Amino acid sequence: MSKFLSNAFAGLVPYTPGEQPQPGQRPVIKLNTNENPYPPAPAVRQLLQQLDEQPAGQLRLYSDPEVTDLRQAVAEFYDLQPEQVFVGNGSDEVLAFAFLAYGKGRRMAFPDITYAFYNVFAALFDVEARLAPLDEDFNIQPVDYLEDAEETVVLANPNAITGKNLPLVALEQILQFHTDSMVIVDEAYVDFGGESAVALLPKYENLLVVQTLSKSRSLAGARVGIALGQPAVIADLNTIKFSFNPYNVNRVSQALAAAAVRDKAYFAKCCQNIMANRQLVTEGLEAQGFQVLPSLANFVLARHQLLDGQQLYQKLKQRDILVRWFDEPRIRDFVRISIGTREDMQQLLAAVAEILQEVR
Which residue ranges make up the site for ligand PMP (CB under 6 A)?
90-92, 115, 156, 160, 186, 188, 212, 214, 220, 225
Q: Please state the closest distance from residue 36 (CB atom) to ligand PMP, in A.
A: 11
- Closest to 145 measured CA to CA, from 123, 122, 113, 176: 176
What's the DSSP call for residue 246? T
Q: Please state the closest distance from residue 17 (CB atom) to ligand PMP, in A.
A: 8
Q: Please state the closest distance from residue 214 (CB atom) to ligand PMP, in A.
A: 3
One-letter amino acid for residue 18 of the chain: G
- Closest to 222 measured CA to CA, from 175, 261, 266: 261
Q: Nearer to ligand PMP by C-beta: 211 or 307?
A: 211
Q: Please state the closest distance from residue 160 (CB atom) to ligand PMP, in A.
A: 4
Q: Nearer to ligand PMP by C-beta: 87 or 259?
A: 87
Q: Which residue is nearest to ligand PMP (CB)?
A: 90
- Closest to 85 measured CA to CA, from 101, 96, 98, 73: 73
Q: Nearer to ligand PMP by C-beta: 90 or 309?
A: 90
CA–CA–CA angle 47, 48, 51 (5° rounding): 90
Task: Note whether 169 and 192 are within 8 A (CB).
Answer: no
Q: Please state the closest distance from residue 186 (CB atom) to ligand PMP, in A.
A: 5
Q: Nearer to ligand PMP by C-beta: 209 or 351?
A: 209
Q: Nearer to ligand PMP by C-beta: 21 or 221?
A: 221
- CA-to-CA separations, 231 to 165, 277, 286, in angstroms, rounded: 27, 38, 46
Q: Nearer to ligand PMP by C-beta: 156 or 274?
A: 156
Q: Nearer to ligand PMP by C-beta: 211 or 315?
A: 211
- CA-to-CA separations, 191 to 32, 267, 296, 322, in angstroms, rounded: 19, 9, 9, 23
Q: Cα(209)–Cα(241) distance, rounded to whole angstroms? A: 17
Q: Cα(15)–Cα(99) distance, rounded to whole angstroms? A: 15
Q: Please state the closest distance from residue 63 (CB atom) to ligand PMP, in A.
A: 17
Task: Note whether 153 and 124 are within 8 A (CB).
Answer: no
Q: Please state the closest distance from residue 359 (CB atom) to ligand PMP, in A.
A: 30
